[in-house]
Structure 1
């Protein structure tokens, strides 16, 4: 009897030993670090294994099974100024190397670009001089008011968009107008300021046709437009550069009765976004358009220049089936400290927007020169994602490059945001890439002191100490 009991115990012991031997190994996390002192710039760190034992430190809990929005992409705007610098201030080899760095997985793998429909405050001609234009500056006859329509002034922009798509064939595009053709405006026919001539009913029909011709012209160039916002910053107009105001009720009326039906009738897949202005005081405008043009509006778009990303939460709750898109933010000479900028960008733009339902994160100019130009009447000290020196052709990667890279390099379109808790001074966002079967977790230390924490995912723990004003992206297989 005793021999049998001993034999049984040996079998049980062997079973548990074998079970432990074939147990799934703990995940191995790779990570990329950028520090506020610029000693590490999106630099890969030694891989670390998750552990079974929990440590007595603050914990970020990650739950792959609690999902939020699906991501559509990350990038910036190829403005006329950016396109001019890429085409005229770099050699072919220099440009190709930069595009590889920006749009492939050997670099930061940007996946979304915005461009301006006609001129903006960053539009120039082939000599780099300011240039204001639309695709139909001259009015045609009554039977075809858009007879003179042409996207030819955008040729340099289109060239650069095509080259970007060669580097990343999955690249998506967004278009935004700063102004309608001046002859469609009320009163003084000007590029800079004013509003559509609402007294003429045909104004809206012609303007809808203007968008359709633009979409078809770009599509014919191999540049299908995925997203279209109706007006850049519709609550602001200025005599300084191309701009136009458009009230919420007018935008709703235009989308519901003209633009939406026109896109549908043309058989185009372009999605319409409302608003495209600052977080602050956005609720009433967004709600008016969504409530009145629900069938034709895919969501709302936001900029960073006033308010905070949490201002979009109420719109999401009112219309959870409509997307939130973050479409513009620029840094500049008004804030030059790398660590301060990195902390703010990660906390408010990269992490803050995605934690508040944004499907895209787009910055403003992809490239500007050493003077923050060339410009067409707008900001005189803005900063691009990269700086291209107009005299030496040298390229500087700015803090915006590294902040974008912490998400764009690792979170590909189609990934979904998943639950991750936050800690004091530590902003986090986590994503699940089902195609690659990977979890991606971003963390930003926004404080002036070192922060030690651990990540917890399915009873596995990884401890890390993050330097002040620094950001890290972790990636591990599931």
Structure 2
């Protein structure tokens, strides 16, 4: 097959908002490219692909579609109480329709998000603390007679209905930040641990949450037992739940009851940072619990994504998901922007077996809320201004978009060259055979790359600290 050197185009300058499509020789594959340069004006901008003639000093990226790894589930962002409230109150009906299409479909360049995460009860991004079965101090409700989804009917459930209307294949992960206070040592949603006498009741609470949400039109694809179980926040709901306790609750109560429930809801363990891989290993090594655990959920705030491979290597048949990471006004996120977020939170986790990436907070307002406690410097995937309904894409939008617009559910990660000279990459084959390659230039200066896959060869000059996606078909 003739090389793309028969066509000669140069990359448009980074200062231009390029819209030039990929170029094609008479009998060569069409290679398309999209570029984000945070220091310039290009954001997911379609640009021209350069020729295949080798440039001196170019970083070689070889893609081997015959060596295959994990199958991808999708990409998304969490619909917290804050996000749901903004979606339902800050947007007019026409603005909401446009927002939903832009985020959850691929029409007109939409992101095509197909995953989300919701909270079972309050998180730090709620306007008040609540569970689905709150009781006065000193009182308990072991039969869950007072269980109610009433807090979710105002914003969350209508928001989820709206999302599911445009993205019927949505997969929803649900996580509690705390058991009801009366089940805990603190008799409060704040701090404390689950009392052993309520382990069985908590399992029933989880199943009732999933069943009642389904009856309300919100099917839950997977649950985690506890958000960040190794952390007890002081000003918003949380609960410490070590690995041995999680294994006990899953293996003895939740797992068997969920399997018998007919709800077909997966159970994911951990839902916390990379710095403690021994925590999910404790649960997976428990024979009684492990058979009910579909996979491990990870957060990005401490440690390194190599932890995902450490656990995957020991339990290769378990799913691997990134279920939370926030952009924010802290380093290195603040200075790294969309490129750092795409690298650290999307590309590297995928190279360490992640099948899904879900960011934290689909939408926040310009004051990083509404929220009650916890993170006051977190940034949503988009910002929605309640004053006028204006939607501003943030770093997470572009970090996700370079993957979610092109890597569809069922795509398979394939082998590609390791990072070199500040250039990282990850490659996929979509179910229709389309090749997708995401390349990140971490360096402070331009890097030329030379890509080869079968009979397809092309070059590209990656601007300093930039992010690009390439697609082609044989």
User: Under a length normalisation based on structure 1, what TM-score does the superposition of the two structures give?
Assistant: 0.89
Tell me how far apart the structure 2 counterparts of residues 301 and 291 of structure 1 sit (CA, whole Å). 16
Instruction: Report the structure number with the largest CA radius of gyration.
Output: 1
Q: How does 1:253-292 map to 2 (within 5 A)?
A: 253-280=248-275, 282-292=276-286
Tell me how far apart the structure 2 counterparts of residues 296 and 221 of structure 1 sit (CA, whole Å). 26
1:391 Cα deviation from its structure 2 partner? 2.5
1:423 Cα deviation from its structure 2 partner? 2.1
Instruction: Identify the residue that residue 241 of structure 1 maps to in structure 2.
Output: 236
Q: How does 1:29-428 map to 2 (within 5 A)?
A: 29-46=31-48, 51=52, 57-106=58-107, 107-123=110-126, 130-138=127-135, 145-155=143-153, 156-186=155-185, 188-198=186-196, 200=197, 203-280=198-275, 282-292=276-286, 293-335=289-331, 340-421=336-417, 422-428=419-425
Superposed CA RMSD: 2.0
Tell me how far apart the structure 2 counterparts of residues 177 and 143 of structure 1 sit (CA, whole Å). 18
The 8 Å contact of residues 104 and 112 in structure 2, kept in 1 or not, is answered as yes
Tell me how far apart the structure 2 counterparts of residues 313 and 332 of structure 1 sit (CA, whole Å). 26
Q: Which string of whole-angstrom CA distances, capped at 9 and with x for unpartnered residues, describes residues 143-198 of structure 1?
A: 96201111121121111111111111111110000000111112x31111101112
Tell me how far apart the structure 1 counterparts of residues 415 and 100 of structure 2 sit (CA, whole Å). 33
Tell me how far apart the structure 1 counterparts of residues 364 and 40 of structure 2 sit (CA, whole Å). 21
Tell me how far apart the structure 2 counterparts of residues 368 and 54 of structure 1 sit (CA, whole Å). 45
Instruction: For structure 2, list consecutive stretches of 5 or more residues without a partner in the other structure.
Output: 1-24
The 8 Å contact of residues 333 and 341 in structure 2, kept in 1 or not, is answered as no
Name the structure where strand makes up a greater proportion of residues.
1
User: Under a length normalisation based on structure 2, what TM-score does the superposition of the two structures give?
Assistant: 0.90
Tell me how far apart the structure 2 counterparts of residues 144 and 99 of structure 1 sit (CA, whole Å). 40
Please point out which of 453, 456, 463 is paired with 2:452: 456
Tell me how far apart the structure 1 counterparts of residues 390 and 342 of structure 2 sit (CA, whole Å). 26
Tell me how far apart the structure 2 counterparts of residues 346 and 428 of structure 1 sit (CA, whole Å). 11
Instruction: For structure 1, list consecutive stretches of 5 or more residues without a partner in the other structure.
Output: 1-22, 124-129
The 8 Å contact of residues 139 and 182 in structure 2, kept in 1 or not, is answered as no
1:117 Cα deviation from its structure 2 partner? 0.7
Please point out which of 429, 434, 438 is paired with 1:432: 429
Tell me how far apart the structure 2 counterparts of residues 460 and 381 of structure 1 sit (CA, whole Å). 44
Q: Which string of whole-angstrom CA distances, capped at 9 and with x for unpartnered residues, describes residues 329-373 of structure 1?
A: 111222598762222112211100100000111110111111111
Tell me how far apart the structure 2 counterparts of residues 445 and 110 of structure 1 sit (CA, whole Å). 25
Query: Structure 1 residue runs of 4+, over 6 Å off?
Result: 139-143, 336-339
Q: Which string of whole-angstrom CA distances, capped at 9 and with x for unpartnered residues, describes residues 207-231 of structure 1?
A: 1111111111111223211111110
Identify if the C-alpha distance between structure 1 residues 353 and 241 changes in structure 2 by more than 3 Å, giving closer, same or farther: same
Tell me how far apart the structure 2 counterparts of residues 339 and 41 of structure 1 sit (CA, whole Å). 17
1:111 Cα deviation from its structure 2 partner? 0.8
SS, match of residue 243 in structure 1: coil
2:445 matches 1:443: no
SS, match of residue 176 in structure 1: strand
1:48 Cα deviation from its structure 2 partner? 5.9
1:142 Cα deviation from its structure 2 partner? 8.6
1:26 Cα deviation from its structure 2 partner? 2.1
SS, match of residue 75 in structure 1: strand
Q: Which string of whole-angstrom CA distances, capped at 9 and with x for unpartnered residues, describes residues 289-329 of structure 1?
A: 01112100011111111111112111011101111110111
Q: Which string of whole-angstrom CA distances, capped at 9 and with x for unpartnered residues, describes residues 2-24 of structure 1?
A: xxxxxxxxxxxxxxxxxxxxx99
**Greater shift after overlay, 33-42 or 257-266?**
33-42
How many residue pairs end up in the alignment? Answer: 442
SS, match of residue 349 in structure 2: helix
